[in-house]
Structure 1
């Protein structure tokens, strides 16, 4: 026979188990209180046990509901922070200094959203700091480290491609001297 501890562990595993126990106990207790013929012969100790099961199951369902609400609030707050940060990054993209704009324009016109470049090379430090270019993690050769322009920045550049066309005489701003 399972103990109360086993029952509580089962309820903690998933709210559907608790909800099933709550509904089943509530139906039997309601049937007994309404005097339905099949439920009137249930011994008092069984009804007490069903009441305890219903109480614990209701508590477990309530805790699961509160956790879901808390998780939703956390997700909304994280989504809002991300939205604000991305909006700030778009503002930075639209107000880049000439040397950074030249790099981003070259990458955009070359259709290089992902590209290899030396790790921590000076030309990209400010773009990396702003989050407009990301250095990928992992084990790579330092002279050919993968970098990527985030999708939301790339999409913003696609909205106004004329703004990200380099001057004809600029050449390749990524060429090392």
Structure 2
């Protein structure tokens, strides 16, 4: 006999599994309803278990459909909020201290979105804290930590700095 834990774990099934269980259960219950003689050899408890499994799978499908509909309805609002956050984030580039701004300008001048720097550098740590640099996943050495400029920041930097002469920053390493 399954425990409550087993039933709760079954409720986390993916929708294709739930759909398969629902179709199988509905087929078995339909077979019992129409007195298909092949089912007479099955145990007497099977219709009850099948009914419960079919109800559970139907509830999983209902929740999945409801979540999908809600996601579709809220997608434009979430996209708008994300775009507003990015615009606010980009607007903060104008308020950066000179050393941090020069570091980002150096990355654009050298056409590198990912660069290595010491992890404990105060300028890179500040840019990471502000979300203007990210650290790619994986294991890294603290002396040569990779830093990456996020897409929306990179696009804004390239757009804003195309009018600026960045040749003096090319080839130099800021660390």
Please report the RMSD computed on the Cα atoms of aligned residues, expressed in angstroms. 4.3
**Which consecutive unaligned segments of at least 5 residues does structure 2 have?**
none
Could you tell me which residue of structure 1 aligns to residue 21 of structure 2?
Answer: 18
Q: For the residues of structure 2 that align with 1:47 and 1:23, how far apart are their CA atoms?
A: 17
1:61 equivalenced with 2:64 (yes/no): no
Deviation at 1:133, TM superposition (A): 1.0
TM-score of the pair, normalised by structure 1: 0.62
Q: Is the 8 A contact 2:117 2:146 kept in 1?
A: yes
TM-score of the pair, normalised by structure 2: 0.63
Q: Please list, as runs of the form range in 1=range in 2, the aligned pairs for 1:22-101 lying within 5 A after superposition.
A: 22-32=25-35, 39=36, 49-50=46-47, 52-66=49-63, 69-70=66-67, 80=78, 83=82, 85-101=85-101
Could you tell me which residue of structure 1 aligns to residue 108 of structure 2?
Answer: 108
Q: For the residues of structure 2 that align with 1:145 and 1:52, how far apart are their CA atoms?
A: 57
* Distance 1:143-1:55 versus aligned 2 partners, 3 A rule: closer
* 3-state SS of paired residue (1:157): helix
Max Rg structure:
1
* Distance 1:170-1:55 versus aligned 2 partners, 3 A rule: closer
Q: For the residues of structure 2 that align with 1:166 and 1:127, how far apart are their CA atoms?
A: 23
Deviation at 1:54, TM superposition (A): 2.8
**Which consecutive unaligned segments of at least 5 residues does structure 1 have?**
33-38
Q: Is the 8 A contact 1:115 1:146 kept in 2?
A: yes
* 3-state SS of paired residue (1:135): coil
Deviation at 1:117, TM superposition (A): 0.9
* Distance 1:72-1:90 versus aligned 2 partners, 3 A rule: farther
Deviation at 1:138, TM superposition (A): 4.1
Deviations 1:38-87 (A, max 9, x none): x48976x978843551343122231343256458868969x939825444
Aligned length in residues: 162
Deviations 1:135-158 (A, max 9, x none): 345443333221111223223334
